[in-house]
Amino acid sequence: MKLNLAENICRLRKANNMTQEQLAEALGVSFAAVSKWERGMATPELNLITDMADLFDVSVDVLIGYQLRNNNKDAVIQRLKNYVHDRDAGDALSDAEKALKRYPNCFEIVYYSAENYSVRGISQRNPSYSRRALTLYQHACRLIGQNTDPKISDISLWNNIAMTHIALGEPDKGIEILKAHNPCRLNHPLIGRVLAADCKDFKSALPYLSIALLDLCVAHMQIVVGYINIYCNTQDYRNAIALLEWALSFYPGLRKTEQPNFMDKGESALWAIRAYIHLQLDEPDRAAICLRRAQKIARCFDAAPTYNVTSLRFVSGDTDASAVDDLGQTAMDGISKTIADFDNDELLALWERVKNEKTSE
């Protein structure tokens, strides 16, 4: 616990309009002694501390800067939580050890103590802190039945253990744990990265990274559609356009030259959504450009449709997976379905005009 005796002596002396010489004379000590106290180079004896408290008309607690803390379990847990995000807190690990002695089998105290050791082990590159974190995480696994926080699970605990092994230069142990606790391919990105960067096992890394990339594509589309629903329903069209500009820049980088890939159906639907938003912003010319772009992508896909994931750039050729969507039989069907969902006559009429433009060529 940090005490502020030196600062408080100086502050209270000045508040009482006393010089260092006057304080020294009042306490029967030398000027040099007072100077050292205020610079934190020496600490006054206890009887002098009580004399100063009387002189300044404050309690000893106030003089030394001591604040009585609430040490019930909930307060201790909250302090440990706060320490995880306050890496400059000098009391974090000593407070964690005190809490562990008092509550050795409390899940939250064990878990957040582990978190504090972990972040400091990594940020300070201190293996002893990481080893302590490892022990505490393993103990937290045994206490997981007490956990009531939905953000923490046995999976997240094992991931923390794996990451601690990796931080300690033990990637093989970390990989083994990540593979054993990998529901819904949750750890594929991390496994791929560690295999490639730490283990230099590039051949084994590729399948994990490929599947992780495919999952990212699906998540990307879901996130974008979710945001668009929010922005359209709240009529925040400027943010909707900004989001789509970012989202639509994602797809070209996944193309193998001009070869169609299964993401084309989703991309063409997003261009149709962008057309609707431009109409809401009274920008019909831009809306028409978006629909022409949507149609070009859709017709290219429909001419040679593929749901083979290896049609995407960067995906390993031996990746065993295929894509599924609910946009309809063809990419053009997907655009029509997307436009129909808006129930907007102006958008529907513009789409019919754009289709006729292409037909008349």
Question: Domain 208-360 belongs to what architecture?
Answer: Alpha Horseshoe (1.25)
Contact at 8 Å (CB) between 294 and 275?
A: yes
The pLDDT value recorded for residue 69 is: 57
Cite the beta strand spans of 21-107 per DSSP E. none
The pLDDT value recorded for residue 72 is: 80
Return the structure tokens found at 170: 């033990």
308 forms beta bridges with 322
322 forms beta bridges with 308
Write the DSSP symbol of residue 184: G
Query: Distance from CA of residue 189 to its chain's centroid?
Result: 15
Question: Domain 5-64 belongs to what architecture?
Answer: Orthogonal Bundle (1.10)
Numbered ranges of CATH 1.25.40.10 in the chain = 73-181
Q: Determine the Cα–Cα distance for residues 341 and 350; give it in Å rounded to an integer.
A: 15
Q: Determine the Cα–Cα distance for residues 100 and 44; give it in Å rounded to an integer.
A: 33
3-state secondary structure of 322: strand
The pLDDT value recorded for residue 256 is: 84
Q: What is the mean pLDDT of each run of 10 residues along the chain (361 residues)?
A: 77 90 91 90 90 87 66 86 84 91 94 96 94 96 94 95 95 96 94 95 94 92 95 95 95 84 91 96 96 94 87 80 72 93 94 79 44
Give the pTM: 0.74
The pLDDT value recorded for residue 321 is: 61
Q: Determine the Cα–Cα distance for residues 58 and 10; give it in Å rounded to an integer.
A: 14
338-358: buried (b, 16+ CB within 10 Å) or exposed (e) per residue? Answer: bbeebebeebeebbeebbeee
The pLDDT value recorded for residue 361 is: 44
Numbered ranges of CATH 1.10.260.40 in the chain = 5-64
The pLDDT value recorded for residue 108 is: 96
Topology given in CATH for the domain delimited by 73-181:
1.25.40
Q: Determine the Cα–Cα distance for residues 88 and 67; give it in Å rounded to an integer.
A: 19
